[in-house]
Amino acid sequence: MSSDSRNQQEIVVQGISASQGIAYGTVFVYLQSDVEVPSYQVDIEKRIEEVARFDQALLTTRQQIAKIQDEVEKNLGKAEALIFDAHLLVLEDQALIGETIREFEKSGCNIETCFNNVASRYIQAFSEIDDEYLRERAGDIRDVAQRVLQNLLGQAENSLSKLAEKRIVLANDLSPSDSASIDRSAALGIVTDSGSKTSHAVIVARSMKVPAVVGVRDLTKKVNTGDWAIVDGYDGVVILNPSEATLFRYGKIQSQKKSFEQRLFDANRKPAVTLDGVTVMLQANIEKVDEVALVKEYFAEGVGLFRSEYLYLNSARMPTEQEQFVAYKTVAEGLAPNPVVIRTLDLGGDKPMASNPHLFPKEANPFMGFRAIRFCLEHPDIFKDQLRAILLASTFGNVRLMYPMICGVEELQRANAILAECKAELKARGQPFDPKLAIGAMIEIPSAAATTDLLAPECDFFSIGTNDLIQYLLAIDRGNDRIAHLYEPTHPAVLRTLKHIIDEAHRARRPVGVCGEMAGDPIFVPLLLGLGVDSLSMTPPVLPAVKYLIRAMKMTDARDLAAEALMLGSAKEIYAKCDAFYRARIALE
């Protein structure tokens, strides 16, 4: 550590944890600047060469992006690599390329200038469109255009691609190209002022397996290249000019986390049984058919939530009954005899179907709008294709069906009536299905929570969607980072509501699980189990951590924790209790 930084004051900045791990080193502050484009006339006899130069730059750019895409796919998987498809499409955009050539032929100006003019007009036009998806395209075009210009001008890639020494990269934002060009041999960690857990910088950081923290607001303004910092990707913290004491603590934490990860790995194969002998059912949340392999890798007892809308989201049209049947059958067969809960379409809200804007017109309040079961009941043909596909798959494994966003008993009855029609249709066709297919209702709207007793006779099980339930109960948009700190799973209103749902479900002899993110957070797991939930469903990679905790706790203690928490009046106090419970059982060695 330099003597300079030892004399400076330690500053701790809280951001959002984006990629796990801890890095310590000097910072490289990267501020994007647009490429300077010279303008000049091209001699008539050199015009063919000029167009060839443009073709070559497009080809080089394509190769660069494809290379990055391959790397991301290799390290992270297909879904993450898909983000670069939009960039490759820009390079194929005949309007953009054709217009550049036409402008060149008309003006005789060098190709960089023509391309820059056309791209700028496109960016301007896209950024003014009143549609979020199309507005985001402006960013894609800007990013690709900068790369094409760099290639035309023979400029080396930006300064991120050749870091002078091992550095923590700090930027106000990183475009996909920026992120992808980062010198992998020298980047210790990545920090950005803006961004969310799903931004490109994060995807690339995770693929590079380096720690990353995003959302540190205006940190780039406070830091100079060469300053020392710690990036704590576990807790989403950046510490500038760390003191000797902090460095010592972090050195220790890093080795503790490594040994903890090993212990989690060991727990993965063992059963989820508490110290006092209670077995807890742990299931997986999945979105795609190929995640069956993950469910098995993490030893989940089947799927507690199959978000079926992902079959639709990535499709240019509504999938047919047969296509859906094949998908559900593959999952059911792949995981039999374990159960697979297929949730019917939850399109709309944060999940509009981009290829079908007429079915999902823009709404002022999409989270409270025309989504999920509301959409399905209004579009019975689409709904019935899905219901029949689920019924047909039910003979190939342990399939269950669940409706999302149920708001009251009438909605549930209407959905069940349509299901009954589907059963009659399949009977008439002579196609087999499980006549006793279990029906579940998600409890994720406060009105459903308040009427759990009325819903119970119309279904076989409940699953609590805490992600939405909390946002509707506390009136906090779950995707808005300005109010993210107010999204408190331990708010007393949340606890009381959970208790009410669980008690009413059990009174009616209906099992009740949790499939929102709370179920996969070890800090909240004892509270949920103590309140009486019967199963937890979570994204597969968090299963070992939850299992490890369950194996280190007693169910009687969890019940005491829930009873104490219910008596407390603030989210902070309840959180502190849960945190203490967790830490006492996960003592790092």
Q: Is 379 a known active-site residue?
A: no
Q: Which is nearer to Mg ion, 99 or 468 (CB)?
A: 468
Q: Which is nearer to ligand PEP, 272 or 473 (CB)?
A: 473
Please tell me whether residue 140 binds ligand PEP under the rule CB under 6 A: no
Closest by alpha carbon to 176, among 199, 148, 196, 157?
A: 199
Q: Count of residues for the chain? A: 589
Q: If contact means CB under 5 to 8 A according to the sort of partner, which of ligand PEP, Mg ion, none does residue 515 touch?
A: ligand PEP
Number of residues that bind ligand PEP (CB under 6 A): 10
Spatial distance between the Cα atoms of 64 and 93, rounded to a whole number of angstroms: 17
Query: Least distance in Å: CB of 533 to ligand PEP?
Result: 13
Query: Least distance in Å: CB of 451 to ligand PEP?
Result: 18
Please tell me whether residue 307 binds ligand PEP under the rule CB under 6 A: yes
CA angle 526, 528, 529 (to 5 degrees): 65
Structure tokens at 50: 């000029």
Please tell me whether residue 309 binds Mg ion under the rule CB under 5 A: no
Spatial distance between the Cα atoms of 190 and 188, rounded to a whole number of angstroms: 7
CA angle 330, 468, 393 (to 5 degrees): 15
Please tell me whether residue 304 binds Mg ion under the rule CB under 5 A: no
Please tell me whether residue 515 binds ligand PEP under the rule CB under 6 A: yes
Spatial distance between the Cα atoms of 294 and 336, rounded to a whole number of angstroms: 15
Q: Which is nearer to Mg ion, 411 or 444 (CB)?
A: 444
Please choose, out of 215-223, 363-371, 406-414, 444-452, the segment that lies near Mg ion by the rule CB under 5 A: 444-452
Q: Which of 348, 465, 489, 513 binds Mg ion (CB under 5 A)?
A: 465
Query: Least distance in Å: CB of 515 to ligand PEP?
Result: 5
Cβ atoms 172, 15 nearer than 8 A: no
Cis peptide preceding 337, ω within 30 of 0? yes
The DSSP annotation for 25-41 comes to EEEEEE---PPP----B
Please tell me whether residue 516 binds ligand PEP under the rule CB under 6 A: yes
Q: Which of 87, 114, 200, 459 is catalytic?
A: 200
Residue whose entry in the numeric block shows the structure tokens 């079908």 = 356
Q: Is the dihedral of CA 418, 422, 423, 427 positive or negative?
A: positive
Q: Which of 114, 376, 422, 515 is catalytic?
A: 515
Please tell me whether residue 468 binds Mg ion under the rule CB under 5 A: yes
Cβ atoms 372, 345 nearer than 8 A: yes
Q: Which residues 411-470 are close enough to bind ligand PEP by CB under 6 A?
A: 444, 465-468
Q: Is 459 a known active-site residue?
A: no
Residue nearest Mg ion (C-beta atom):
468
Q: If contact means CB under 5 to 8 A according to the sort of partner, which of ligand PEP, Mg ion, none does residue 505 touch?
A: none
284 three-state secondary structure = strand
Q: Which residues 2-41 are close enough to bind ligand PEP by CB under 6 A?
A: none
At a CB cut-off of 8 Å and minimum separation 6, what does 72 contact?
80, 81, 84, 180, 203, 204, 207
List the catalytic residues: 200, 515
Write out the residues near Mg ion by the rule CB under 5 A. 444, 465, 468
Write out the residues near ligand PEP by the rule CB under 6 A. 305, 307, 346, 444, 465-468, 515-516
